[in-house]
């Protein structure tokens, strides 16, 4: 790999499972094996039953609060510091790339570092609210209108952040090498990014526990 190459990483839930955060789609252990995501993690269900949403979120929120970056996050940080990695595009909401020290992170599915009131638009840092919820079961409520605050992670039925999508597509089209780590590549538009990179002529490395629909495009598959 020459120092002139533009390298981009695309990460999914699998990169964070060693940090204690469950993924969503693995057989027998994925979160979607136990619940219908449309009934628990959609924008409509949040509006209708925020209490149920937070009950579902509780074990995930606990793992997110306690999670620390693992060697995979640290390896990508080292590549950035060496000038070998332009950016990390992530499908994860855990913020572990930033916690490790990565500075160029595109979060396609939002994050849980902050909360927003869907009624009046108030926003605040999530940490104190989530800790109170985990300790006492108190729903995070807006201090102005008392509506339940929603984490700034993208739920089913919500549009993805436009700037993040455009930035991710630009990175895919400009890179010489894309490294996919821990993603099943089943969720659009993230799943289309390796194809964009290959269309531009980039090389592709896929590192994942299970096969993906894009393995045939990979120059290296681990």
Report the alpha-carbon distance of residue 122 to residue 142 in Å, rounded.
7
Residue of 107, 109, 130 whose CA lies nearest to 59: 130
- The token pair that represents 35 in the structure block: 């619940």
Say if residues 127 and 64 touch (Cβ distance below 8 Å): no
Question: Could you confirm whether 97 is annotated as catalytic?
Answer: no
**With 0-12 CB in 10 A as exposed, 13-18 as middle and 19+ as buried, what is 125?**
exposed
Report the alpha-carbon distance of residue 12 to residue 193 in Å, rounded.
13
- The token pair that represents 166 in the structure block: 């455009």
Q: Residues near 155 by Cβ (< 8 Å), separated by ≥ 6?
A: 41, 42, 43, 46
Torsion from C-alpha of 106, 111, 115, 116, nearest 10 degrees: 50
Residue 217: C-alpha distances to residues 86, 185, 190, 214, 221 (Å): 22, 12, 15, 5, 9
Report the alpha-carbon distance of residue 178 to residue 212 in Å, rounded.
15
Residue tagged active-site, from 73, 97, 109, 111? 109
Catalytic amino acids? Answer: 109
């Amino acid at each position: 790999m020459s120092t002139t190459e533009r390298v981009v990483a695309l990460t999914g839930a699998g990169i964070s499972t060693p940090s204690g955060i469950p993924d969503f789609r693995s057989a027998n252990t994925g979160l979607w094996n136990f619940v219908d995501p449309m009934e628990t993690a959609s924008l409509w269900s949040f509006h209708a039953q925020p209490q149920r949403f937070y009950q579902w979120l509780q074990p995930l929120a606990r793992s997110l609060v306690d999670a620390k970056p693992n060697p995979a996050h640290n390896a990508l940080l080292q590549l950035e510091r060496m000038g070998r990695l332009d950016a990390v595009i992530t499908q994860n909401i855990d913020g572990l790339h930033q916690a490790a020290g990565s500075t160029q992170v595109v979060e396609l599915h939002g994050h849980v570092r902050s909360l927003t009131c869907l009624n009046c638009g108030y926003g605040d840092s999530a940490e104190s609210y989530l800790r109170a919820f985990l300790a006492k079961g108190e729903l995070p409520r807006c201090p102005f209108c008392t509506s339940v605050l929603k984490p700034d992670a993208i739920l089913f039925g919500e549009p993805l952040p436009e700037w993040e999508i455009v930035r991710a597509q630009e990175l895919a089209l400009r890179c010489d090498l894309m490294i996919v780590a821990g993603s099943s590549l089943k969720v659009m538009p993230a799943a289309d990014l390796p194809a964009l990179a290959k269309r531009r002529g980039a090389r592709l490395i896929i590192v994942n526990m299970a096969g993906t629909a894009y393995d045939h495009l990979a120059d290296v598959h681990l």
